[in-house]
Each structure stands twice: as structure tokens, then as C-alpha cells.
Amino acid sequence: MFISFEGIDGSGKSTQLVLLREWFEERGRSIVTIREPGATYLSEAIRDILLSNKQSITATAELLLFSAARTQLVETVIQTSLDRGDVVLCDRYVDSTTAYQGYGRQLTLESVEICNSLAARGVMPVLTFFIDVPYNEAQTRMQFETSQAKPDRIESSGPEFFERVRSGYLAIAAQEPSRFIVINGVQERDAIHREIVSIVERRL
């Protein structure tokens, strides 16, 4: 079973991924958890480049780098884990590219779709949880968490960018309501977790 988590930075999606991993572990399931971009040597190296503030990166280069990181991950980790029968929980996947590079950076959705399908090779989550929080709430959570750290290159993209990203996620939800589930992220962690578990239980 392949499940992904989506949301703007600071939405609480990583928190929910960990809670769901624990829930599966308590039930004896073998779990692989992954963050995107990352989880392979190449994908982590690309992550460092993408998040670094050392130089600007064009929108198209950004799209291609995220896609390169993803295809390495799909071919070397996700597909083999799914073939073994593991549950794969992924912190971001193709919907991040649609929301951030498509809606956020305003690249054409057609070019994003081409890259997403090349990179994912047909390997798609059965469920995606979009933890929806307003930008200001996410910002407050991030400031609380990283009061010492400087925002990375993508975090520095500004409120209008993140409003477009959020509206991109909501557009995906309207197009794919059975896979892409919108969860109200402005709730207690445990309430969100219970909502996610009830949906997973129905799909198992």
C-alpha cells in the first residue's frame, strides 16, 4: 500500500506520517517511510542543491531536478518496497510538483504532468492526505519550530507563492477526490490522526 502526505511547509504532514507509521507498526506491518526529495544518495544530493540559498534556480531547472530525484527513488526504493508487500509512506510525491512547480512557479501544467509521469513511472499512491492549513498558521508553526534557522530557498518564496500552492492542492482535490483527501489541518494532532486512520481502515 502506497500512501503520500502533502501540504504546505509547516502544515503538520510529517507529524501525521509518523503517527500513521506507528499505527501500522503496532499492527505488525512492514513500513518504509520516505521524504521527497530524498531517501537515496542521489536524491539527497539533489535536495541539498534545491533547498540551498547559494544561488537562484530557474523554475524549469527546479522541475527537472525534483523529477530526477523522484525517478531515482521510485526505481530503487519505492517499487521494490511495494513488490515486497511493504507499506510505503511518502512525505510528498508528484502532487508537490503539481502544486509547487505548476501552480506555485506557474510552469505549464502540461510540462509538469509530463515530468511527473516520466518520474513516477505509473507508481502512484492509493491515498494522498493533504493536510490543509492556511499559510499564516503554517508560518506560525514553522517559526515556533525553527526560531534559529534561516528559511531555505523554497521557504523564502513568499506568501503569494504559497497561496498559489495551496490553491493548486485544492484543484487536485477537485480532480481526484477518491485518492486525494483534504484533511482540515487546524485541529489537534490526535483528531487529525483519527480521521486519517478511519480513512485508511476503510481502504485496507
**In angstroms, rounded to a whole number, what is the distance separating the alpha carbons of residues 57 and 52?**
10
Facing residues of 35 across strands? 91
Distance in Å, CB of 35 to ligand Z5A, minimum? 5
Q: Which range in 3-11, 22-30, 81-89, 120-128 contacts ligand Z5A by CB under 6 A?
A: 3-11
- The residue from 3, 34, 154, 196 that contacts ligand Z5A (CB under 6 A) is 154
**Residue 85 Cβ, how far from ligand Z5A at the closest point, in Å?**
25
**Of these, 37, 102, 125, 168, which contacts ligand Z5A (CB under 6 A)?**
37
Closest by Cα among 66, 153, 53 to 107 = 66
Residue 40 found at the interface with ligand Z5A (CB under 6 A): no
Calculate the alpha carbon distances from 65 to 44, 171, 204 in Å.
Answer: 11, 24, 34
Is residue 13 within the footprint of ligand Z5A (CB under 6 A)?
yes
Torsion of CA 182, 35, 88, 20, to 10 degrees: -60
User: What phi and psi values does residue 193 have, to the nearest 5 degrees?
Assistant: -60, -45
**Minimum distance, C-beta of residue 50 to ligand Z5A, in the bound complex (Å):** 6
State the residues that interact with ligand Z5A by CB under 6 A.
7, 9-15, 35-37, 66, 91-92, 96-97, 100-101, 141, 144-145, 154-155, 188-189, 192
